[in-house]
Every structure is written in C-alpha cells, then in structure tokens.
Amino acid sequence: MKSLLAAIIICLGLSSCTDSHIKDHPDWGSYFTKNGINDACFMLRDHNHDLVHIYNKERCLERFSPASTFKIFNSLVALEVGVAEDDALVLPWDGVHRRPEVDTAMNMRDAFRLSNVGYYQEIARRIGRQNFKHYLDSVKYGNMEMSDSVTQFWLDNSLKISADEQVGFIKKLYFNELPFLERTQNIVKSMMLREDSTTNRLYYKTGTNNLGKDSMIYWVVGYLEHVVPVKEDPKSMNKSGVRNYPYFFALNFTVAGTNSNQNWLDLRISILKQILHDYGAYRND
C-alpha cells in the first residue's frame, strides 16, 4: 500500500507519466557520481511497457534553461510560420566568432546538428516575439516565460523547462501531437536523427548553458527507436516488415564552470548510451 501511494504521489508531479507506472532508480546515480557529477537527473519513458523510470525525481521536476535543446522548438516555429520553407534555408554568418565549424553560412539542418547559436538567433528575430509567445503558450512549453530579448530568452534563464516536461514534449513530437503541421514535426524529427543502424535509431538534441554562480548545465533530450523485423500477416496494414519501439528520455546535470576534469559534452552522450544499453533499449548491431 505504501509503495502504491508513493507512486501516485510521484505521478501527480510528473506531467509525462499519466496512466503509466513509475519506477525510481537510485542506482542510476552511479553513472554520474563515478564521473564526478553529483547534481543530475535522468528520466526514461518506456512507451512499449507503459513505464516511466526516473533517477532523482526532485531534479526531474526542477526547471532549468533549455539551452540549445530549444532549437527543437525554435525549428518547429520557424517551419510552421514560414520563416523557413524547409530545413535547406541558408543564412549567412553574422560575423561573430564562436567556433570555426559554425563561423560560416549554413542551412538549418547543419545549424541544428552543429548547434549554431548565431543561426538560430537570426531565425528567432525573423519569427518575432508574438509568434514565439503564441506557440510557447499553445504547447505549454516549460514556464512559457520570455525576457525582453527575442534572441536570448532561452539562454538568459528566463525560459525554463524540467526534464519531465521535456519528455512529455518529445513524446508529443514523436506522435505528431504538437500544435504544428505533421510535415513540420517530421522535418524536425529528421534533423534530430544522430544514429541509424539496423537495430537502433537514436534522435536527440544537446544543450549547454551557464546558469551563473560558476554553474553549467548539460542537457540531452530525445528518443530511441528500437527496430525489430517482423513477419506481418498478409492482411496487416503494416507493410514495412519492422516494428519501432520508442523510448523517450531527458538527462541533465550541472557541474562547476571551472571544472575541466572531463569532456562534459561527450560524457553526457556516453552516460545516456550506457543507461539505455543497460536498460535493454539500446542494442549493438
């Protein structure tokens, strides 16, 4: 009875777990602590078994700056309102030196993959405050707050979102349930694809931001499709010969900005894959 009550209480706070069973995983903390990370959380929604797995529930409910994970939302709005006809829209370099690989003209697909801040700031200028506010409210994206700067609000800690809300957002994107055209959502999902093999398709967007007081946050949000070949009944509507089993996830952690003991950018992906693999979702070919 006590365990059932605890699960109900947890679920009341988790917007992504409606009608799902919840399982807490304090043991997942070892993936982080062994790498010197003490402030972290991870949420995995196993849609196939209607299960939500969490590490550090309190932090999963805490809102932080979305950082570059907001490029998912930014891309959706740009495509929907016609600022970008498709992912081939090329914008010139704004002349601000950031990283050699982004200090050049490029299209949206490459800007998304390389996390080109300057590109998406120009996209944001073209979208405008009114359009952003409309879709932030329609989607109920995090706290839906915007600062005065249309090119900084997802970076200046005014807009915030929790890992739980990120999972709910990604799940709706996967099933084309967001208030955008299906074409819009499909283009953005295709830009999120980072690994494609015979057994897995891994989609994600990373994000990194300075939270102040010498604190940096690192995000990974997205989903994994496990691909299973099947022999369909001749009368089945599914003619693809495969079944896709989705898992939705959000990971974030904070470390001191002066802490250079690890390559935090790569480590977050490594931790993500370790957890997915040990859970049985991420499989090697």
Query: Catalytic residue numbers?
Result: 68
Whether the CB-CB separation of 170 and 221 falls below 8 Å is answered with: yes
Strands 21-24, 39-46: pairing kind: unpaired
Q: How far is CA 153 from CA 44, 67, 122, 124, 207, in A?
A: 27, 9, 13, 10, 14
Rounded-to-integer distance, Cα 80 and Cα 235, Å: 37
Buried b (16+ CB within 10 A) or exposed e, 3-29: eeeebeebbeebebbeebebeebeebb
- Packed helices 71-81 and 182-192: angle between N→C axes, nearest 10 degrees: 140
The answer to whether the beta carbons of residues 196 and 44 sit under 8 Å apart is no
